Amino acid sequence: MQKTIILNNEQIRHKTKRIAYQIYESNINESEVIIAGINGNGYILAQKIKEELTEISPIKVTLCEVIMDKKKPRNPVTTSLPVTEYKNKSLVLVDDVLNSGTTLIYAAKLFLEVPLKRFKTVVLVNRNHKKYPIKADFKGISLSTSMQEHIYVEFKGKEAQAILD
């Protein structure tokens, strides 16, 4: 099967900016929002969203890395920030691709144990093969793909692309 670029660098930049505006709109009355990216591509996307959000809004944006083993999501999940930094605040959990929902739901579980003002999820690519009842509140693109197809996002410096394989 041949690889197909489903989002090029320019499209990813555009979608990231649009997601930043959506986050701003849903947090317009907040003084701070925590952008929590799942380690790897989720964290890289979170950094890009933080840059856009900082440019378009007066809201203080704090970046947080969610550290987990994606191959063994039941293992302990931790964050780069102490709980006190995001307790009772608005938090946005970010990952690159929503496949079965396993990574997102196990990462979300960590934040369910902390009182938050608001909790939203973001993915760049949403696939419709969820195994768990979790959804992306903000998404760059939704695709219906076959179970055999694989979607991944490549970030190389300032360049990025989403690929269907």
What digits encode the pLDDT tens for the residues 82-134? 999 999 999 999 999 998 899 999 999 999 999 999 999 999 999 877 788 89
CA distances for 73 relative to 68, 78, 152, angstroms: 7, 11, 18
> Where are the domains positioned within the chain?
4-23+30-164
What is the strand order of the sheet 4-7 is part of? Answer: 4-7, 159-164, 151-156
DSSP result, 88-136: TSEEEEEEEEESSSHHHHHHHHHHHTS--SEEEEEEEEEES--SSS---
The CATH T-level fold of domain 4-23+30-164 is Rossmann fold (3.40.50)
Distance (Å, whole) CA 86 – CA 35? 10
User: Is the pTM above the cut of 0.85?
Assistant: yes
